[in-house]
Structures are given as C-alpha cells and as structure tokens.
Amino acid sequence: MSALVFLHALLGLALLLAVPALALVGLRGFSRPLPARFYALLRGVAWVAILQVALGFALFLAGLRPKDGLHLLYGLLLAAGLHYLGGLEPGGWFHRGLKDPPKRPEVFVALGLLFAVGLVLRVYFTGR
C-alpha cells in the first residue's frame, strides 16, 4: 500500500512540475503554431495524469481519503482537460471530431494549459 501512496505522490510532483512548464512553452501558441513534439509531450503528461487519477481512486477505494474531497474532482478535471487539449493538435482525434474545428487551436491549448496550472495547484494543495 505504501508503494502506491509513494507512486501517487511521485506522479503528483511530476505533474506539478510538468504542467506549468508546458503552459510556459504553450504561451508561444498565441503567436505561432506549436510543434508536433509539444503535442506529443502534452499527451504523455495527460497519460501521467490519467494514471495518477486511477491510482488516486484505487487508494480511495482502499480506505485512504484525501484531506478534502474536492481533490478527487480536481484531479479528474485535470486529467480530462489535458487529454482533450492533447487531442486538439491539428489532425488530432478531438480536432477531427469537431464539427467546426478552430483555425488556430494552439490559442485554445495555451488558454487551457493556463487553466490546467490552476487545477494542478488546487489538486496538489487539496490533497495534502
């Protein structure tokens, strides 16, 4: 059990560092298109967040509860948001599925990542 708690904490720390770094790089999306490698990294961070949520719910079902129940909601919103932002890459799964895809999806990615920074901070501080 302690190994799962340690892994959950380690992944949380990785997200706490990776999401603001992605947001800083993503700010370039306001002025120019973001490279494909950026979206690949974003999708990788999204999968880390999804794994983090799965571990969190496993710990919850095992009887370990966060200090604040909103921690679970914030984590779920962060994972889902990062997953959808990664799909906004031109030609990506979410971009293709939109009826009228945006001409400049990188602006929405940049804004979404700024929101994700707030979410990752809320997730971290409500779970402590």
Residue pLDDT tens, the chain, 128 long: 789 999 999 999 999 999 999 999 999 999 999 999 999 999 999 999 999 999 999 999 999 988 888 999 999 999 999 999 999 999 889 989 999 988 899 999 999 999 999 999 999 998 87
Residue position matching structure tokens 């990062």: 82
Predicted local distance difference test score (pLDDT) of residue 67: 86
Tell me the C-alpha distance between 28 and 110, whole Å. Answer: 8
Predicted local distance difference test score (pLDDT) of residue 119: 96
Predicted local distance difference test score (pLDDT) of residue 21: 97
Angle formed by the axes of helices 2-26 and 105-127, to 10°?
150
Q: 3-class DSSP state for residue 82?
A: helix
Predicted local distance difference test score (pLDDT) of residue 68: 87
